[in-house]
Chain A
Amino acid sequence: QVNLLQSGAALVKPGASVKLSCKASGYTFTDYYIHWVKQSHGKSLEWIGYINPNSGYTNYNEKFKSKATLTVDKSTNTAYMELSRLTSEDSATYYCTRWATTGSYWGQGVMVTVSS
């Protein structure tokens, strides 16, 4: 079955960067885009962008273009999102998700806390 396993919670200092991982299994990794979604505590969901694992092509929400960098490692079926120059506004839960015409699958989410 399809599974997206995300890395554990992260506590990072303001101004630092963090790289989140999302390991896919149960399907052909290169057949589906991986999307990333942000959810601040108690708030709604924001689409950050997607990456085509086959080509590496990315498409970002303008709001996150200078914040997030999406990459993949096809050898390990893993997608990554690096968040840079972190501030308190970046404290949130981040999800990787696979969307397709047949439905969607979501990782369990990873909580990022930005604090000194």
Chain B
Amino acid sequence: DVVLTQSPATLSVTPGERISLSCRASESVDTYLHWYQQKPNESPRLLIKYASQSISGIPSRFSGSGSGTDFTLSINGVELEDLSIYYCQQGNSLPYTFGAGTKLELK
């Protein structure tokens, strides 16, 4: 199974700053890497698909990059509503797998 390692596990942020979250795959997943945001007691929400493709309705401050084994989710100007957990997920090979998540908290 493809293991996705997310770092850091927790990130303390200040509103307005630019941040980057990392997701590394144990083997190449090409660009079949997706990013989700999950708030408490809510279903995951897709933020970025296929590593860098935007999703309708998602604020433009969210962007993704990478291919192969190294991926990054960036938030350009963190807002308070962004405080949640972020997961990466690979859809390149079965079984599909998720990372352990990165939690954004207020500094």
Contacts and interface: CB of A to CB of B under 8 A. Distances in A.
B39 to A, nearest CB: 12
Interface of B: 34, 43-46, 49-50, 55-56, 87, 89, 91, 94-101
10 contacts: A44-B98, A44-B99, A46-B98, A47-B96, A61-B96, A99-B91, A101-B49, A103-B46, A103-B49, A103-B56
Contacts of A103: 46, 49, 55-56
B94 A59 contact: yes
Which of B34, B43, B55, B56 has the most chain A CB atoms inside 10 A of its CB?
B43
Interface string A5-49: 000000000000000000000000000000100000000111100
Chain A interface residue bracket vs B? 10 to 19
Contacts of B87: 44-45
The binding surface of chain A is classed by DSSP as strand
Contacts of B89: 45
B43 A62 contact: no
Contacts, number: 39
Nearest to B6: A44
A47 B95 contact: yes
Contacts of A44: 87, 98-101
B91 A108 contact: no
Given A47-B96, A47-B98, A109 B91 contact: no
Interface in A72-116: 95, 99, 101, 103-104, 106-109
Given A45-B89, A103-B46, 16 more contacts: A44-B87, A44-B98, A44-B101, A45-B87, A47-B95, A47-B98, A59-B94, A61-B94, A61-B95, A61-B96, A62-B95, A63-B95, A95-B43, A103-B49, A103-B55, A103-B56
